Structure 1
């Protein structure tokens, strides 16, 4: 982030106009959905915020009768929860920058299945008009799709399971990665304030398979995001959420993994209006959660999962729409569960995460108002040291010695750590030196027998040391001159 942008954001934060946790995920600012007392009404559009209700209608009967909108002018009938406004820190009218060419050179899907094309799959589309940025953004789209997969699987791990998005895939430099289709349509359809012209153009291009969910990265400035939602609650493989074609859309101001996961989540069946914490407008009300936010003035949102890092995960407490092992008699044991969706690759029970950092609470000497110290143990592997997609911890404009710390409720046995340094080449730079310290019970001390502290970009730095028992692990960084420092991720292990 350029210094000028940081200064502007800092000023806005001081005025209370920008939240401290600028998203790299899905803390949506709120829809202008209709009040619950008048479900037949269609709200007025607010095009500046991407809240276009043009071409949407409500009907008392039919497949979209349960509080959903119908997209007029499409066949077969398509239902949607309506448009989502941009998360804090993003603008519908300002395109997200592309990742650096080498930023995702080591990326790959954790799990691929079969020949990459057969069966139910999510297919990624880059949709543009007469002007194309396919080559510039190809790696960005691949990485964002892989980030969506991470969100789904890390959320599954919280309930002892494993789930991956079954993408249409190909082999790239020996790695399995999502295919990104290059789809050109007429500029008039691309930029219409109504979703139907774009949908019809994409269908005319052949993307109509009933065994496909289409994740659309649209090079336009109309919406932040919008997705199809069946609203089917029955617990059966015949649930309409298990069929296609279905479409999830994110425009260029909202090209993030969190927004993509949110809209794809709708196409997979989240969030049904009879769920325990449903807003009544296709979302949930128990934050932090990819699918939750205040989507109507009548809705009250509660902070139930207090770790802001869970804004990059599905289903706070796993009681509304996503649980790989719901308890007998619970809502998800009786009604539709996105974890059962046939477009996901199902795995067995997973072992506990060996990364002990995930269970710690993060704190720091200082955190820039637009960054988040919770980023250091959110479990998201960065694509590069200049990660522009995921949350980061940075200390601009402060320089000198800075630290970030993991604290557990009780002592942990530690003998290895991994650190990923943040460097945006615009004020946040690699440190001149750094080290690990642990809490002895009365003071901090350097970890004994450390294997060394190289200053390396674009990779995890692994440090082994003599085993310690401690409730706190601290990364201490010394800035390079007047530059600031930061971290993207810290992992801690017992072996």
Structure 2
């Protein structure tokens, strides 16, 4: 969750046919809102109520069950650990309630994947927590839609590593569609509005929400916090990891009722971000932007922009090396330590097989495209009948010659070891190149893929190139034209193995 510096954008896309709310978090922190690492490790920052930074009721005990870097919620049993409160993203204010979404648009939504009977097993249960005044009927569709937006964040992030993950909600059928259940939970006003999380937690527990097979995602009708969530801090790579059990609680107050805040806090309850991760801040977050879980959460933390496409601000784990990957490379951090993508509260869909063409999920671009051609042709999935394909879309650069390129760009890092390229040759102004090669984006510049098996110039067939595994967000084909001829491509495929 954000606190200062570069500001994150809240995304709320409403279309006539449907509505997706990602409500993205992050950006960097408000300097000084956390005690510096160099200060007393038992100290807790002063409250800043206007920002929702309420530390009353929290204690830091480095030698206690929550360890260094996490806080303990006083007055709850069993002991509950948390990363602490978060300030609101730009455009939101803790003391101003978010308006409900248009019911007509929200009611067109549905979860992409549901599982079983909707209640059995480990599930995330959505709660609307209020006092003597209830706005349940007014916001019911909003809460359902925000929960579905959280699911979108988790699944779109899983796709970046070739997998599929969905939040396993408690669900029901609404007008023929599978929707998250939203429980109506009334508690005392004094517990609702307390400048301390423990009274609300204890009131919700007293209402019966204590199941060990539940994570409770709370939309709280109060103006105390923006968001706060439990975090176990367990790095054990096992189903017995404490992040795989409940009850655990994630809270978003009414000034921050957006899906990005909910995804951030739920992400904590699922195990993000452990302090031994490669890009960990040391206080339950990461420092490599853009990323839902990253921001400057301590004055000593330095933020790095690693995933330069800011659209990844509404996705999990920039480069998928800290806390969330459906396919971590052998020997990597996530192959040895806890991985949120393995959390038992998520539905694990089909992992892309080794032969899956990752190019299909990329966005293509090029140095130049003839007005009558299309760069989208290079990853449209159509296998050409020949290099002189006059039926299907092609990418060509006529009348431009010399060095030209076509590029595939993903929103998150891909693990690549093999590519296939089909050259375009129309026997007129487009000819096969005199030479070509593959390059990948290192994060700051392009470099030739290492260990390439070779770049033959062959027409009427896919050319397969294997190379040493790279992790990258961009792959490009660099072509040198043959004399004054132009160049082109019909299809580019990319593979993890």
- How far residue 279 of structure 1 moved from its aligned partner, in angstroms, is 0.4
TM-score by length of 2: 0.69
Separation (CA, whole Å) in 1 of partners of 2:108 and 2:42: 49
- How far residue 144 of structure 1 moved from its aligned partner, in angstroms, is 0.5
Structure 2 counterpart of 1:54, from 46, 51, 56: 56
**2:385 corresponding residue in structure 1:** none
Contact 1:30–1:84 (CA under 8 A) maintained in structure 2: no
Separation (CA, whole Å) in 2 of partners of 1:79 and 1:266: 10
**1:127 corresponding residue in structure 2:** 129
Separation (CA, whole Å) in 2 of partners of 1:180 and 1:306: 36
Deviations 1:300-321 (A, max 9, x none): 0011001111011000000000
Equivalent residues in 2 for 1:421-432, closer than 5 Å: none
Q: Does 1:301 align with 2:303?
A: yes
Separation (CA, whole Å) in 1 of partners of 2:320 and 2:144: 28
**1:25 corresponding residue in structure 2:** 24
Equivalent residues in 2 for 1:204-243, closer than 5 Å: 204-243=206-245
**2:84 corresponding residue in structure 1:** 82
**2:375 corresponding residue in structure 1:** 411
Q: Does 1:117 align with 2:81?
A: no
Structure 1 residues 17, 41: CA separation in 2 closer, same or farther (over 3 Å shift)? Answer: closer
- How far residue 106 of structure 1 moved from its aligned partner, in angstroms, is 2.1
- How far residue 62 of structure 1 moved from its aligned partner, in angstroms, is 3.1
Deviations 1:23-82 (A, max 9, x none): 531025526121111322100010010000000001132321232110000001000010
Structure 1 residues 131, 88: CA separation in 2 closer, same or farther (over 3 Å shift)? Answer: same
**1:37 corresponding residue in structure 2:** 38
Q: CA RMSD in A?
A: 2.7
- How far residue 105 of structure 1 moved from its aligned partner, in angstroms, is 2.5
- How far residue 349 of structure 1 moved from its aligned partner, in angstroms, is 1.9
Deviations 1:462-486 (A, max 9, x none): xxxxxxx9xxxxxxxxxxxxxxxxx
**1:368 corresponding residue in structure 2:** none
Separation (CA, whole Å) in 2 of partners of 1:89 and 1:339: 30
Structure 1 counterpart of 2:287, from 285, 288, 295: 285
Equivalent residues in 2 for 1:68-79, closer than 5 Å: 68-79=70-81
Q: Does 1:106 align with 2:105?
A: no
Deviations 1:392-447 (A, max 9, x none): xxxxxxxxxxxxxxx9xx9222999xxxxxxxxxxxxxxxxxxxxx999689xxxx
Contact 1:57–1:72 (CA under 8 A) maintained in structure 2: yes
Separation (CA, whole Å) in 2 of partners of 1:80 and 1:415: 44
Contact 1:66–1:231 (CA under 8 A) maintained in structure 2: no
Separation (CA, whole Å) in 2 of partners of 1:355 and 1:201: 49
- How far residue 20 of structure 1 moved from its aligned partner, in angstroms, is 8.4
Structure 1 residues 17, 71: CA separation in 2 closer, same or farther (over 3 Å shift)? Answer: closer
**2:142 corresponding residue in structure 1:** 140
Report the secondary structure of 1:103's partner residue: helix
**1:423 corresponding residue in structure 2:** none
Report the secondary structure of 2:103's partner residue: coil
Q: Does 1:172 align with 2:174?
A: yes
Separation (CA, whole Å) in 2 of partners of 1:76 and 1:188: 22
Contact 2:235–2:337 (CA under 8 A) maintained in structure 1: yes
Structure 2 counterpart of 1:344, from 339, 343, 346: 346
Structure 1 residues 193, 210: CA separation in 2 closer, same or farther (over 3 Å shift)? Answer: same
**1:202 corresponding residue in structure 2:** 204
Separation (CA, whole Å) in 2 of partners of 1:442 and 1:129: 68
Aligned residues: 363
Report the secondary structure of 1:37's partner residue: coil
Structure 1 residues 414, 137: CA separation in 2 closer, same or farther (over 3 Å shift)? Answer: farther
Structure 1 residues 19, 315: CA separation in 2 closer, same or farther (over 3 Å shift)? Answer: closer
* Larger CA deviation: 55-64 vs 179-188: 55-64
Contact 2:66–2:232 (CA under 8 A) maintained in structure 1: yes
**2:191 corresponding residue in structure 1:** 189
Contact 2:7–2:27 (CA under 8 A) maintained in structure 1: no
Separation (CA, whole Å) in 1 of partners of 2:398 and 2:199: 66
Contact 2:9–2:25 (CA under 8 A) maintained in structure 1: no
Contact 1:286–1:302 (CA under 8 A) maintained in structure 2: yes
Report the secondary structure of 1:412's partner residue: helix
Structure 2 counterpart of 1:359, from 333, 357, 363: 363
**1:6 corresponding residue in structure 2:** none
Structure 1 residues 352, 149: CA separation in 2 closer, same or farther (over 3 Å shift)? Answer: farther
Unaligned segments of structure 2, at least 5 residues? 12-22, 381-393, 400-425, 427-490, 492-497
